[in-house]
Amino acid sequence: MHPSIYMQFLSQLKAGQRAVISAIEAEDSLFHRLTALGFRVGKPLSIMRRASFNGPIHVRLGTTDVILRVTEADRIQINAI
């Protein structure tokens, strides 16, 4: 098994897909913000929609709806379910 081959990021998901967060690789300020909004390893999320022209991604985690840019979503590793 080579996990790196199967590494998948939040930014790669399509609208309607569900996934579980497997790792967050971000500097302190981004990490804090993500944690405060409910992004934690092991937490399930679903992609509600993606904006046109490669705009932000609308994610739902538990009770919270969040929008984030692709650059930020690139820092969040997930396992699609």
Partner 1 sequence: MKRIALLGMPNTGKSTLFNRISGASARVGNWPGITVDLLSAKILLGGNIVELIDLPGIYDLHGFSEDEQVVRHFITSNPVNLLVVLLNSTQIDRQLSLLLQIKKLGFPIVLALNMTDEAKRAGITIDTEGLSQTLGLPVIQISAKYGDGLPKALAAATSVINQQETTTNPQSIGLMLKEEHDIEDEMHELIQHHVQIPTTLTDDVTDKIDRVLLHKWLGLPLFFAAMFLLFQFIFAVGAPIQDGLAWLLDLLRTELLNPLFTNTPAWLSGLMLDGIYNGVATVAAFVPIIILFFLVMSMVEDSGYLSRAAFLMDAIMAKMGLDGRSFVMMLMGFGCNVPAIMGTRIMRSRSMRLLTMLVIPLSLCSARMQVFIFMIAALFSPSKAPLILFSLYVMSFFTMFLTALLFQNQYKNTEPFILELPPYRFPTPRQIVLRGWHEVKHFLNRASKFIVLGVVLVWLLTNFPSNVAPASIDTYAGQIGVFFTPILDPIGINHELAIALIFGFVAKEIVVGALAVIYGLQGDALMAQMATQIDWVQALSFMLFTLIYTPCLSTIATIKNESKSTAFMWLSIAWSLGLAWIVSFIFYQSARLLGY
Rounded to the nearest 5 degrees, what angle is found at the Cα of 80, between the Cα atoms of 59 and 16?
Answer: 45
Of 7 and 40, CB closest to partner 1: 40
Of the candidate residues 3, 16, 42, 62, the single one contacting partner 1 (CB under 8 A): 62
Q: Based on the shown chain and the rule CB under 8 A, indicate whether residue 76 belongs to the binding site for partner 1.
A: no
Instruction: Give the shortest CB-4-to-partner 1 separation in angstroms.
Output: 25
Tokens of 5: 């081959």
Of 5 and 57, CB closest to partner 1: 57
Write each residue from 21 to 60 as x if it is in contact with partner 1 (CB under 8 A), else as -, in one continuous string.
-------xxx-xxxxxxx---------xx-xxxxxx-x--
Tokens of 79: 């396992």
Contact 44, 20 (CB under 8 A): yes
* Tokens 């409910």 -> residue: 38
